[in-house]
Amino acid sequence: MHIWKNCWQCKHETPQNRLSYVIHPKPVEGFSKDKNTHKATQFWLLHIDAYQFTQCQKCGAPSLHIDSLQIKNINENLINEIRHEIEENGKYNSEAVSSISYPNFGKSLISEKKWSYNLPPEDMLLFFEILSAYEKELYTLALSGIRTLVDRYIVRKVGDAGTFAQKLKKMLENNHISSKQYEVLNTIIDGGNAASHRGFNPGQQMVKAFLESIEDIISLYFKTEQIDELKKQIPQRPRK
Ligand SMILES: [Zn+2]
């Protein structure tokens, strides 16, 4: 009997032999927060983890798949239904299910953004932290990091004299950025300030857009470093 699961080595869904299957329900404490009083009230939930240890039929790689879901009322029939469906199909079809698989090598955004390895060490580490926060859905932290990275980039280009608005203007005047990029950086800094001082929690869509924009601006230098070298290889036009 096989089930279809994502294989980390084949990098897509493959038929896999199931070597072991354990379903493990446990009670967990949750809380709800009152919108007006901000008071937290505890309640109990049943958290169900289904562990399936599999081996890919195509490449032989082993994986552990954990499908989890929480139910509010302890309901034996529902638990049996979930147990049975995973037994049969390898998964329980519900929007409430979250799934993780181990190992998950090479899934990090860091390996996709190799240009960043050329950043100065302190900025490279900050960039890795931003990606890590983004991947963990810690969007407010990611945005604060993006703001700091922008700040450092600007200081490196035009020095640290004056207010932020003055420094950004100098970036434009010295042709480090275009007028469109000037607007973009202004918006990113405003978003970062709102997250720091105005209780703003940005969403995934906003942080993703900011991350891509800042990457375009900062990475350009590193991505085009070779161009001067390559330019020498292009034959010159004959003079008339
Ligand atoms: Zn495989």
How far does residue 59's CA lie from ligand 1's centre (Å)?
4
Phi then psi for residue 28, to 5 deg, are -130, 155
pLDDT bucket at 204, cuts 50 / 70 / 90: very high
pLDDT in tens, 168-188: 999 999 999 999 999 999 999
Report the separation in Å between the CA atom of 222 and the middle of ligand 1, taken as the mean of its atom positions.
35
How many angstroms does the Cα of residue 91 sit away from the middle of ligand 1? 18
Q: How far is the CA of 97 from the centre of ligand 1 (A)?
A: 23
User: Domain residues of the chain, as ranges?
Assistant: 2-102, 109-228
User: So what's the pLDDT on residue 106?
Assistant: 60
Is the domain spanning 109-228 CATH 1.20.120? The answer is yes
pLDDT at 196: 87
For 50, 119, 179, 200, 226, the CA distances from 90, given in Å and listed in that order, are 9, 44, 53, 41, 49
Phi, psi of 104 (to 5 degrees): -125, 55
pLDDT-based confidence at residue 61 (cuts at 50, 70, 90): very high
Please tell me the pTM assigned to this model.
0.68
pLDDT in tens, 118-177: 899 999 999 999 999 999 999 999 999 999 999 999 999 999 988 888 999 999 999 999
Rounded (5°) CA angle 128-200-212: 35
